Amino acid sequence: MQRVLLHTATAAAPFYVPGLVAALEDAGWKVAVLESAAFPKAAIAAAGLKCASTKEKCDVHLYAPWDKAPVAESDALVAAVDGVFPGSLRPTCRLSLGRQGAVTIASYEQILEALEARRTVQDFAGKTVLITLGPTIEDFDPARYISNRSTGRMGVALARMAARRGAKVLAIHGPLSVSMPDVDNIECIPVRSAKNMGDAVLANISRADCAILCAAVADFSPCDYSEEKIKKGSRETLMLRMKRNIDILATIGSLPTRPFLVGFAAESTDVLKNANEKMRRKNCDMLCANDITAAGCGFASETNRLHVFLRDGGNREIPLASKNDVASQVLDLIREKMS
Ligand code: CTP
């Protein structure tokens, strides 16, 4: 499924459509635009876009009704357009750019995710996937904290790809440097500290069929929290006493009943040995190890490469690829092993 017929009757079309077409084409969709009174042939051509012919066939028909169109009229037009384009499917997505004066504009990302879901096998439909992601923040006074370099990028890719495959995603996350797709089947639960994250995971774990814990959880947090900003005064050094935090993955691994459990391991030395040992110690079904010092695999990197250990003794390499591709391959393995 690759071809999109875009038909917008709204007055906002000339402003909205070029950016939408660019976003869809970047993701590999072919887009043709059907002329309307609001966006005539000449304007479509002037925007450098392909104008749909009346013989156009498409896989998905995206439709935005004219402004203030009553719902019934919009639906009638959709049916008529389907009749004109016998090769096209019933519209599977509609842009809503204002019905009866109430303006609701779907973002490019929402539209793209809806389209991607339609060309993706829904093999996680009916499953709930809990994902932890991002860093945790350990405060020690109102101005200062200890954290780490995690951006949450790998976890966002896992959430995005699981949602595309039909999962209900529970994303329990520390502060993220990248945005989470704004789609209905991702429920975000923002947290701050390791303790908050542990509490949120324990409160929600019974809802999950699978838990993928890829957050960079702080192993230690300051023993004391100062209600006032700590003054440097005349001291030359500052000692911060730290206490061990809950290990969320190991805690879930030790539950008598638990979902299919996937851990991550960020390693900088002896990656394979440390990761294998970590999988057994934390009792996971699968552990994805990455060497955070390898080229293209660091915290803020767009790409990743994983070595995946399986509880049954096997292991697989996921070669260097975009984090979305790596996430898809992790989900393939989870699907295979869960069933
Ligand atoms: N993890 C966790 N809770 C913690 C620490 C880690 O749930 N307090 C999880 C991470 O989300 C990841 C896995 O445990 O899935 C491994 O995390 P990592 O930081 O690689 O290992 P640590 O257990 O912290 O061990 P070390 O830092 O000693 O390598």
Pocket of ligand 1 (CB under 6 A): 132, 194, 213-215, 217, 219, 245, 247-249, 263-266, 278
Give the tens place of pLDDT for each residue, 244-254.
999 999 999 99
Residue 90 clears pLDDT 50, i.e. is over it: no
Select which of 148, 196, 204, 315 is catalytic: 148
* Residue 148 known to be catalytic: yes
Residue spans of the domains in the chain: they are: 3-118, 128-338
Q: How far apart are CA 170 and CA 186, in angstroms?
A: 6
The alpha carbon of 204 and the centre of ligand 1 are apart by a number of angstroms equal to 19
Residue ranges of the alpha helices (H) in the chain? 13-26, 41-46, 71-84, 108-118, 153-164, 194-204, 248-253, 271-282, 323-338
The alpha carbon of 298 and the centre of ligand 1 are apart by a number of angstroms equal to 16
pTM passes above 0.95: no
Closest Cα partner for 128 from 213, 248, 249, 210?
Answer: 210
Q: What is the number of the ligand 1 atom nearest to the C-alpha of 262?
A: 15
The alpha carbon of 247 and the centre of ligand 1 are apart by a number of angstroms equal to 7
Let me know if domain 128-338 sits in CATH 3.40.1710.10.
no
Q: What average pLDDT score do residues 23-41 get?
A: 90
Q: How far apart are CA 197 and CA 175, in angstroms?
A: 11
Which of the four pLDDT bands, split at 50, 70 and 90, describes residue 255? very high
Residue 82 clears pLDDT 50, i.e. is over it: no
Q: What is the number of the ligand 1 atom nearest to the C-alpha of 248?
A: 7
Please enumerate, as own/partner, the contacts of 301-306 that have beta carbons within 8 Å and a separation of 24 or more: 301/153, 302/153, 304/154, 306/330
